[in-house]
Structure 1
């Protein structure tokens, strides 16, 4: 009997010790929810598909109509399909629309702001679609769109990886691609020869605005709760001169933080930024892409991630200075 009591006492003591140490839990506790626990207030730009002016009207009509007439089927393959909306798609004002796209939207009762004169008269051929990096939304969603259009129309579209918005505009101008994903702000810079571009690149027109791209400030440090907390920290702000870099410059500037001296800047793309966060090499990273973004989703499986919100006052100041942004809330549960 004494042996049995001693054994029971030993078991009870071990259970107590394990409970104090967290037992068999992973140790992450509620922190594993990270950014999923709360809404995140930020700003966003549009993700827009553009085309060379010499792509035939019929080809662009087939591309746009196939996407919007098969929204449910596309959404089954990629969540961004659920954000396709005719009003948003036809809402771009800074660059004229391709005639093929304008024709489809007019059939749906949506008048675009302007249509590119002389566009849509080239010869039909296989189309190459410049997207983005392998871990970004551009490539994932662009691949789905390309495959669906190719499999359901007489138009062949192939999605390829690229260096992002600026590179896509340059590749499109050079004739290396015929379709491209771009941020709406970078598209405007290129068309008007501003910021990222030394001269105008205007041999393209709009196909459709597809969804909003959120400026996501990602960290694995729960003590970084506001943009102001980034001061003095190591922060990835995209490749210098990229669209992400200008977004970071705009957001940091709204808080009075110089991107060269107010932080320790690191110039990395989405995947490298996620790896650096995972390895503890940087404190935070700017990622501009449709949420949920693959690179952040993958990071969140390894450790808790948090998204940094912009407060209302600084958001208002940013929107006043840069009207191509829109206020946006990333809902809890996105990651």
Structure 2
């Protein structure tokens, strides 16, 4: 009888602890939003695939409604997240720097400083794609007046690639559009070149090469050096096999991408979001191969954007060394 009473008391105590724990967990979420949206870019690009993937992952694991939204890409995401119109987004570091300095074309003259770094995503290589039938095998082969698609207006590609090609002496007719749309225009002969800036493999390119023969045009060593000297990019190679059409490495340049959060979001919410994404690397790579670079070691690729306190806390707990000076302070 005594043992039975002890078991009953123990069970009651356990139930009370579980109830208290549940109440505490619920209290911890009291200031969380009921849902969230991740600003990505156009469909057919890496941002949309990658962003939709981590939005769905976080929504499932945290039990909160989440989704991705098609946007104009990094510049617009910096504006939408900084103003609080979107809680989360993704950006490349060049547009991030320009936005913080008040040089975002969406809000000219207004420093957008309320978007915080959340986690490193991957590098964005800049690559040129043409139809094999075009006869274009190098940047120098692009004829004056060629119709070149640079992605959505305000995207990283649209911001930097035209300037890069101008630096290399290419004269062109500038076109904009979503990546899937531009790939379709290339296949239909409505444009001559697509200048992609997106994590590889770019879904639109992978789909395009299933339907027709394409060439991925590399930079020469001299062209690469000239671009690296003139723009905030680093030298990189797109590995052979990234696309079926790419049988050897293609010389390129690249820029880092980071997920961003509105700096006013609750610390615990951002902490749990980062923990979910960074804590399941294999699942992220399954969403998109570019996520092989979504690692703690790459946190140091952000040297200027303030970290959200929740993100900084998780990274510092997991081997990073984020300086307190680089953490957003309210």
TM over 0.5, yes or no? yes
Structure 2 CA distance, aligned partners of 1:320 and 1:155?
45
Q: Contact conserved, 1:215 with 1:247, CA < 8 A, in 2?
A: no
With the length of structure 1 as denominator, give the TM-score of the two structures.
0.58
Structural mapping, 1:29-178, within 5 Å: 123-125=31-33, 126-153=35-62, 156-178=65-87
1:94-119 deviation digits (Å, cap 9, x = unpaired): xxxxxxxxxxxxxxxxxxxxxxxxxx
Structure 1 Cα separation of the partners of residues 153 and 89 of structure 2: 21
Name the structure 1 match of 2:112.
Answer: 201
Residue 275 of structure 1: CA displacement?
A: 0.6
**SS of the residue aligned with 2:132?**
coil
Q: CA deviation at 1:308?
A: 0.9
CA distance in 2, matches of 1:238, 1:228: 21
Given candidates 152, 156, 159, the residue that maps to 1:246 is 159
Q: SS in structure 1 opposite 2:158?
A: helix
Instruction: Name the Cα RMSD after superposition.
Output: 2.0
Report the counterpart of residue 332 of structure 1 in structure 2: 240
- Secondary structure of 1:219 counterpart: strand
**Distance in 2 (alpha carbons) for counterparts of 1:309 and 1:291:** 14
Residue 256 (structure 1) aligned to one of 169, 184, 201: 169
Inter-CA distance 288–318: structure 2 relative to 1 (3 Å threshold): same
Gaps of 5+ in 1: 1-121
Question: What residue is the counterpart of 2:246 in the other structure?
Answer: none
Equivalence for 2:128: 217
Distance in 1 between residues matched to 2:154 and 2:57, nearest whole Å = 33
Instruction: Give the number of equivalent residue pairs.
Output: 209
Change (3 A) 1:143 1:210: same
Per-residue CA distance 1:172-222 (angstroms, 9 max, x = gap):
233221010112211111111226351211111101111111112110035
Looking at both structures, which has the greater relative contact order when contacts are Cα pairs under 8 Å and sequence separation is at least 6? 1
Pick closer, same or farther for the CA change 1:195–1:171 going to 2, 3 Å: closer
